Amino acid sequence: MKLIEKINGLKKEKNAIILVHNYQRPEIYRVADFIGDSLELSRKSAEIDADIIVFCGVDFMAESAYILNPRKTVLLPVLDARCPMAAMADAEGVRELKKRCPDAAVVSYVNTSAEVKAESDICCTSANAVKVVNSLKQKDVIFVPDENLALYVARHTEKHIIPWKGWCYVHTKFSAEGLKETRKMHPNAEVIVHPECKPEIIDLADFVCSTSQMVKRVGESDKEEFIIGTEVGMIERLKMLYPKKIFYTVPPGATCIQMKKTTLKSVFESLDKEQYVVKVPERVRLKAKKALDRMLEL
């Protein structure tokens, strides 16, 4: 029997749901019950009524699913599918920064550990970061951990943003010179990039948005060609959704190795052996949930 059939059989037998981030391998899309960006996946995981949630993504996404829906068994198929940017911020460091800026609110990007979320007033994703920051009453805002997303938010708010110095090794690979060259070669293409990109890439973009907002934008645009500045898996997803449109990456292109660790075999084994169970200590979970709930209520 093929792996896909085996996975579908186990899903039924164990009453499981498979959530898949846009950056996953195309074969993983084929076993997905839902594919989306971090915000959509958080919303979805809060409302799931199955017994098991298999999260095909990275650590912080599965952790958020558990924080929001702790009565379910949340499984991450690959133990070391960990976002390096999320690991750049630690709770102790955030507590120290809060002491130095006592009047500031703390906004943590969902790409953080549960411990960091527990130190935060509210979470955000790339889809709603500007809205979240502008919803706060404080003038000063500590933004953790992505400095580039913080700088992007700073362009769209009157607030004083205090960025943490983290970065995504995938989105910081793109070259402004390469983007200019690609644009010259395809002058009719629309440039859509993720807000984790460096400011010089943001400067050259027509649209800056989350991965699922890219899906929406391409669908709405009357352009036929697009230059996409995000993880390469997104281009696969866009090609599948819009086979008549043409997509180019911002040079030199970029792959998130951690996102690509999940394979059909690991999803099958995850369901079969019910591994790797993601949990968060209850004291941390309750505090982190407040920050996530506040974001979801916006």
- The residue (of 120 and 268) whose beta carbon lies closer to ligand 13P is 120
Tell me which residue of 54, 33, 82, 94 sits closest to 291, measured CA to CA: 94
Q: According to CB under 6 A, which one of 256, 280, 291, 292 is a site residue for ligand SF4?
A: 256
- The residue (of 159 and 171) whose beta carbon lies closer to ligand 13P is 171
Tell me which residue of 20, 31, 22 sits closest to 234, measured CA to CA: 22
Spatial separation of the C-alpha atoms in residues 86 and 109, rounded to whole Å: 9
Q: Which helix (H) or strand (E) holds 105?
A: strand 105-109
3-class secondary-structure state, position 34: strand
Residue 126 interaction partner, one of ligand 13P, ligand SF4, none, beta carbon < 5-8 Å per kind: ligand 13P
Which of positions 157-216 make contact with ligand 13P (CB under 6 A)? Answer: 168, 196, 210-211
Q: Which helix (H) or strand (E) holds 161?
A: strand 160-163
Residues 6+ apart with CB under 8 A from 99: none
| Contact flag: residue 253 with ligand SF4 (CB under 6 A) | no
Residue 133 interaction partner, one of ligand SF4, ligand 13P, none, beta carbon < 5-8 Å per kind: none
| Contact flag: residue 111 with ligand SF4 (CB under 6 A) | yes
Q: Which helix (H) or strand (E) holds 284?
A: helix 282-297
Answer for the pair 135, 298: CB distance below 8 angstroms, yes or no: yes
- Binding to ligand SF4 by CB under 6 A, coded x per residue (else -) over 152-181, reads ----------------xxx-----------
Residue 270 interaction partner, one of ligand 13P, ligand SF4, none, beta carbon < 5-8 Å per kind: none
| Contact flag: residue 37 with ligand 13P (CB under 6 A) | yes
3-class secondary-structure state, position 165: coil
Residues that bind ligand SF4 (CB under 6 A): 58, 83-85, 111, 168-170, 231, 256, 258-259
